[in-house]
Amino acid sequence: MDAISGLLGGFAALANPETLLYMIGGFLIGTFFGAVPGLTSVLAIALLLPLTYSLDVTTALVACASIFMAGMCSGSITATTINIPGAPSSMMTALEGYPMQQRGEGAKALGHAALGSMIGGSLGALLLMVMAPLAADVALLIRTPGKFSLIAFALIVIIISQRGSITKGMIATLFGVMIATIGIDVVQPLARFTFGTGVLVQGIDMMPLIIGTFAISELLVQADSRSTRTVDPSMIKAAKVRRRDFIPPLSEVREIGALRYLKSAVIGYAVGILPGAGGSMAAFVSYAESMRSSKHPERYGKGNPEGIAAAECANNSMCGGAFVPMLTFGIPGDPTTAIVLGVLVINGLQPGPQFMTQQLDLIAPMFASLFVSALILIPLTLYLLGPYFLKIVSIRRDVLYSSIAIVALVGSYVATYSTFQMALALVFGVLAYYLRKQKYPTVCLLLGFVLGPSLEEYCRRALSINDGNPLIFFTSPDSLFFIALTVVFFYFMVIRKPKDNGLGTRPA
Amino acid sequence: MSLKPSSPHSSRRAGLSGEFYVPAALAIITLIYLISAIQLGPPMKAGNMTASFFPIATAIIMLIALSCAMVHALRGKARASAESSPADAESHDEIASGRQYAGLSLGAIGVVVLTAGYLLAFDLIGYFVATFVYVLLLCCLFGGGFRDKWLTKLIAAVAITLAGYLLFEVVFQVRLPTLWSQ
């Protein structure tokens, strides 16, 4: 009963004009960053991170949630109209949306994408509200050896989900773990890897790492491009959409069917819970399942609304699932939830099994923001701004990237009022640029950095309570469960690799 | 990507690409890390892990992974050399080149140099002057030089500087360094 009233209180918190303003502002920012090719909602949230020092934690979380939701659906705009997915999660939408655009049904494709996102996002948020307290109860059963095995499981799954570049995923993750060991030891008061400098004793802050990895490296990558605008203006003229065509015909919605929407939402939510999977994996799995179970699989790839609905429903539902491991175990599975974890840590909060009950008043507005963003803001934004989306995202690159540079660098300064943090952001930016050029997944770097300290702490604590005997990890039932789960995942994802499904593409 | 100052000719002479050099550079960093970890003390004491155990274990696994990546890069290079004719190699180099120095394109180097200069100037001459100059130069870098639409770039630099000030100092009450506060 307390949980229900707490969750309803979250919706009431959105009635606060300031909170509401941040939710709508966050949604619009997320829409813009998700729609502009090359920018992502992760970058938007990364740029927001420094501002959370001055923001109320609830407001910051509400803004993060709406950016997350908006970023997942807005990638479909450029994917449909000009065949350039604004975000990796919209790759499958491009497969169906662009053929529809070519036969003059672009607005309808966007309508199907928005409807799918709306249904998926709302169901994902509802599932989060229902399932997260249950997951928190389960989390209470996990003891120290189990926590180590759980984090190891998360890291291993993140690494092996980097198909075709597992070694690179492993290197990036371990490098993140190494960076996290700089500073005071997690168990005893001993400074490590400071190389005689006082500035490293406190360790590396998450903010310069995030700003460097996602914002500065993006500036360096974009500096190679010669175009002056983010989207070629000639493409905009050829891709006009009218507002009245946005509403998808009821007959097509019926043909897609409630079951397909529901199944896609559940798939997206489940994929979201998995570490390292993300929106593109959710969209891919759901799309493949939709094609498999369709009465007309031959229509896929030629502009089938079913494919758009399945992909968009799943990638927005994923948003709800992604919060479950972060809030209940303190284990983020993707960069967005890792940054949200950073927002919590900046405000002195540490997620864990009791977090859901003890701090429900703080996070319930975030759940509400996810739900409201999906149910109201997605269709409303499409209807009001839809015809102008392409003009909005076709922005001058010099203005866009100069603005990003200022927000990123001055934002790094905010934490300690020192240019050292700004310099660190630049160093990490250059490092991430090299890694990105060689296709090392920088997401793994961030997750290794975030999860590394907990991995070390639980490993050492588990061994110290068992006189250094590593058998504790195999005799403790919860730990054994996660080791078995790791073996199962390793078998299915590495040894018995999933087939290509004939889609001609794989999730990013 | 090559880590050497490269032209098409020099990259062909060097033979190896960033696929090899990036893990090699990371291997050097990891070796320094491993030596520092060993200097922290023995990894186990009285049956318990010490502060050096986890870093040593991490560094060793990292070195193994980096070795695999380097061997993979070397094998890939050897396979590519065996399969492609000299003409193919030349055309490939021409496509991949675009002038690069230490693996950074000229544009990326521009951003790094400007940003490093901005960091130095930020404390010395304050937010306003440093940001205005930095934004103006970045606009030139991303917008194809100063001559093209210079007035727009000038207005953009003033607007972004003022917007940044309003966002951080006024809305979020972050005290930014100013020339008169030095």
Residue B162 structure tokens: 């003022």
ipTM over 0.90: no
Q: Which residues of A touch B169 (CB under 8 A)?
A: none
- Judged by average pLDDT, the poorest of A173-187, A227-241, A352-366 is A227-241
List all residues 6 or more positions away from A160 whose beta carbon is below 8 Å from its beta carbon: A166, A169, A489, A490, A493, A494
- Three-state DSSP state, A303: coil
> Residues B104-130: what's their mean pLDDT?
93
pLDDT bin (cut points 50, 70, 90) of residue A133 is confident
Please judge whether A398 and B115 are an interchain contact, meaning their C-beta atoms are less than 8 angstroms apart: no
Annotate B55-92 with b (16+ C-beta within 10 A) or e (fewer).
Answer: bbbbbeebbebbebbbeebeeeeeeeeeeeeeeeeeee
**B158 has a pLDDT exceeding 90:** yes
Residue A474 structure tokens: 């195999």
List all residues 6 or more positions away from A497 whose beta carbon is below 8 Å from its beta carbon: A163
**A95 has a pLDDT exceeding 70:** yes
Taking CA atoms, what residue in B is nearest to A438?
B19
pLDDT bin (cut points 50, 70, 90) of residue A198 is confident
pTM listed for this prediction: 0.84
Query: How close is the nearest chain B Cα to the Cα of A356, in Å?
Result: 29
Q: Which residues of A touch B121 (CB under 8 A)?
A: none
Q: Which residue has the higher pLDDT, B65 or A386?
A: B65
Please judge whether A434 and B22 are an interchain contact, meaning their C-beta atoms are less than 8 angstroms apart: yes
pLDDT at A235: 65
Please judge whether A402 and B37 are an interchain contact, meaning their C-beta atoms are less than 8 angstroms apart: no
- Backbone Cα Rg of chain A: 22
Q: Across the A/B interface, how many CB contacts are shorter than 8 Å? A: 180
Residue A107 structure tokens: 């607005």
**A505 has a pLDDT exceeding 80:** no
Asked if A101 contacts A81 with a C-beta cutoff of 8 angstroms, the reply is yes
Taking CA atoms, what residue in B is nearest to A457?
B54
Please judge whether A185 and B51 are an interchain contact, meaning their C-beta atoms are less than 8 angstroms apart: yes
Residue A480, CA distances (Å) to A61, A157, A195, A329, B131 in order? 35, 16, 39, 17, 55
| CB atoms near residue A203 (< 10 Å) | 18
pLDDT bin (cut points 50, 70, 90) of residue B98 is low
Q: Which of B120, B39, B122, B48 is CA-nearest to residue A188? A: B48
Residue B52 is classified by DSSP as T
Q: Can you tell me the distance from the alpha carbon of A395 to that of A443, in angstroms, rounded to the nearest whole number?
A: 27
Please judge whether A402 and B142 are an interchain contact, meaning their C-beta atoms are less than 8 angstroms apart: yes
Q: Can you tell me the distance from the alpha carbon of B168 to that of B166, in angstroms, rounded to the nearest whole number?
A: 6
**B4 has a pLDDT exceeding 50:** no
**B181 has a pLDDT exceeding 80:** no
pLDDT bin (cut points 50, 70, 90) of residue B18 is confident
* Residue at A66: amino acid letter: S
Asked if A289 contacts A310 with a C-beta cutoff of 8 angstroms, the reply is yes
**Domains in chain A: boundaries:** 2-495
Q: Can you tell me the distance from the alpha carbon of A49 to that of A51, in angstroms, rounded to the nearest whole number?
A: 5
Taking CA atoms, what residue in B is nearest to A463?
B48
Taking CA atoms, what residue in A is nearest to B19?
A438
> Residues A437-450: what's their mean pLDDT?
91
B104-105/B100-101 β-pairing: antiparallel
**Domains in chain B: boundaries:** 8-99, 105-181
Please judge whether B103 and A464 are an interchain contact, meaning their C-beta atoms are less than 8 angstroms apart: no
